[in-house]
Structure 1
Amino acid sequence: MTRTANDPANRFATLTFARDIAAPVSVLWQAWTAPAARKVWAAPTPAVTVEFLEADTRVGGREVSLCKVEGQPDIRCEVGWLDLQPMLRSVNYEVVSCEDVTQSVALVTAEVSGTDQRSRLVVTVQLSSLAENMETGYRQGFGAGLDNLANAAERTMVLERVIKAPRRLVWGAWMNPETLPQWWGPDGYSCRTTRIDLRAGGEWVFDMIGPDGTVYPNHHRYGEVHAEERLAYTLHWGENGPKHADAWALFEDQGGATKVTLGMVFNTADEFQAAKGFGAVELGLQTLGKLERFVTSR
């Protein structure tokens, strides 16, 4: 006898996915939750394009995306964040629909563990299917997405600093076209701006000049900009040059201080290793140190 999705035996399933990842647990957490990072790994295959309509990763926030495949109707996915315990656990609901018809609902629990060297992600999906083949689709799509996540996390760099200044001042120093070039870059570096427009859809074309006079052309293209909360941008090798990383900055209030998290998913593992090799972590932390000195000296 053929069973359909309306049969109770087929409607419910509990799926478990686990991945061991060669990245620190703090990096895995950012790759799992930061909207800019999620956009990097969300598409399960190259044939699928994921368009994000909303992205707000905080308790009570939601993420809405459209999965697009040529010649097929769009699949809408709504994620609502119910619990977020940094570097430990997240819980969200997920509703999948097509042409305004709900296909499935699910409760997704992610458990994160690990060290500053390696991490582990275990995701449990409690799935209720309202259409046929949703369990199979989840096994394939979710599994492929988590493979992409693991790959992205292993080429992600995350820098953090708590700055002893209010969030509005830190954000203001970052998103002001007059002040950003004054502090951006490691110790001993300066910036020479060609043009700057710090808005969603804007850009910053500039040269970073090293202590020995070496010129490093840069081009930042800005995507999302949410005042005093987060911004996302892409890094390019010079004006209109090839992209080498997707980046984001998060700004969190900590009792009058501001926690700044700067993340970057490099295009390839080779670019990530090259960046680590020339000291990108140390140089990036110097940049955040310059930001703190700038805002606390004013």
Structure 2
Amino acid sequence: MKVYEPIDPHCEIVTIRTVNAPRANAYKAWSDPNHLKIWWGPAGFTNTFHEFEFKEGGKWNFVMHGPEKGNYVNSCEFTDLEYPSLIAWKRYSQPLFRVIVTFEELGPGQTRIISRQIFETEKECNKIRPFVEDKNEENMDRLEKELAGMDAV
């Protein structure tokens, strides 16, 4: 697996969650658009996926629909994929950042997921840090609900 060293903790938002699911299932929930579109985003959000090419260099274009208002266009490109341990992408829509997600098997049926949002500057990171940390936790809550309903891979 490729190892990504922390760039600068002031330029990263890190979310860590241990889930009660095999690593293969956790990876599938992030890599299969039929699962991902169900849980991706904070509480109350829905998604419309327009393009999802799960391969290095593949595009992921979608719109997140807010529960009360707002449609948020997302344009991304997958940069590094290593089954079942790593998914990384780069965002081309604002705010700009890279995402690196790793999946660590802790034991039978338990996986630690570490999601890192990496920004070019501390200033860019701090623009969204105050609200995105809680929203990332909501996202992980939704992931856990999706994983609970998945059959073993």
Cα deviation for residue 268 of structure 1 reads: 2.2
Could you tell me how far apart the structure 2 residues matched to 1:192 and 1:213 are? Answer: 15
Could you tell me how far apart the structure 2 residues matched to 1:155 and 1:218 are? Answer: 20
Task: Calculate percent identity across the aligned residue pairs.
Answer: 22
Higher strand share: 1
Cα deviation for residue 193 of structure 1 reads: 1.1
Q: 5+ residue gaps in structure 1?
A: 1-33, 39-148
Does the residue aligned with 2:54 lie in a helix, a strand or coil?
Answer: coil
1:234 aligns with 2:74: no
After superposition, the C-alpha distances for 1:169-224 in whole angstroms (9 at most, x for unaligned) are 11111111222111100110111111111111112101111111311111121011
TM-score normalised by structure 1 residue count: 0.47
Could you tell me how far apart the structure 2 residues matched to 1:196 and 1:282 are? Answer: 26
RMSD of aligned residue pairs (Cα, Å): 1.7
Could you tell me how far apart the structure 1 residues matched to 2:89 and 2:139 are? Answer: 17
Task: Name which of 189, 196, 203 aligns with 2:52.
Answer: 196
Does the residue aligned with 2:105 lie in a helix, a strand or coil?
Answer: strand
Which residue is equivalent to 2:134? 282
The 1:214/1:287 distance shift into structure 2, 3 A limit, reads same
1:186 aligns with 2:77: no
Which residue is equivalent to 1:15? none
The 1:251/1:243 distance shift into structure 2, 3 A limit, reads same
Contact map agreement 2:35 2:146 (CA 8 A) in 1: no
Could you tell me how far apart the structure 1 residues matched to 2:96 and 2:19 are? Answer: 28
**Given residue 213 of structure 1, which amino acid in structure 2 is its aligned partner?**
K
Matches for 1:79-98 after TM superposition, within 5 Å: none
Which residue is equivalent to 1:126? none
Could you tell me how far apart the structure 2 residues matched to 1:155 and 1:219 are? Answer: 21
Cα deviation for residue 267 of structure 1 reads: 2.2
**Given residue 266 of structure 1, which amino acid in structure 2 is its aligned partner?**
F
After superposition, the C-alpha distances for 1:260-291 in whole angstroms (9 at most, x for unaligned) are 000011122222111113x1011011111111
The 1:169/1:294 distance shift into structure 2, 3 A limit, reads same
Higher relative CO (Cα under 8 Å, sequence separation at least 6) belongs to 2
Could you tell me how far apart the structure 1 residues matched to 2:83 and 2:15 are? Answer: 20
Which residue is equivalent to 2:19? 163
Which residue is equivalent to 1:269? 122
Q: Which structure has the larger Rg over C-alpha atoms?
A: 1
The 1:243/1:286 distance shift into structure 2, 3 A limit, reads closer
Large movers: runs of 4+ above 4 Å: none
Which residue is equivalent to 1:85? none
Could you tell me how far apart the structure 1 residues matched to 2:64 and 2:123 are? Answer: 22
How many positions carry a matched residue from both structures?
A: 148
After superposition, the C-alpha distances for 1:229-258 in whole angstroms (9 at most, x for unaligned) are 011111221xxxx67111100000111201
Contact map agreement 1:37 1:246 (CA 8 A) in 2: no
Task: Name which of 114, 135, 145 aligns with 1:293.
Answer: 145
Does the residue aligned with 2:67 lie in a helix, a strand or coil?
Answer: coil
Contact map agreement 1:36 1:246 (CA 8 A) in 2: no
**Given residue 251 of structure 1, which amino acid in structure 2 is its aligned partner?**
F
TM-score normalised by structure 2 residue count: 0.89
Could you tell me how far apart the structure 1 residues matched to 2:47 and 2:5 are? Answer: 27
Contact map agreement 1:36 1:232 (CA 8 A) in 2: no
Cα deviation for residue 297 of structure 1 reads: 2.1
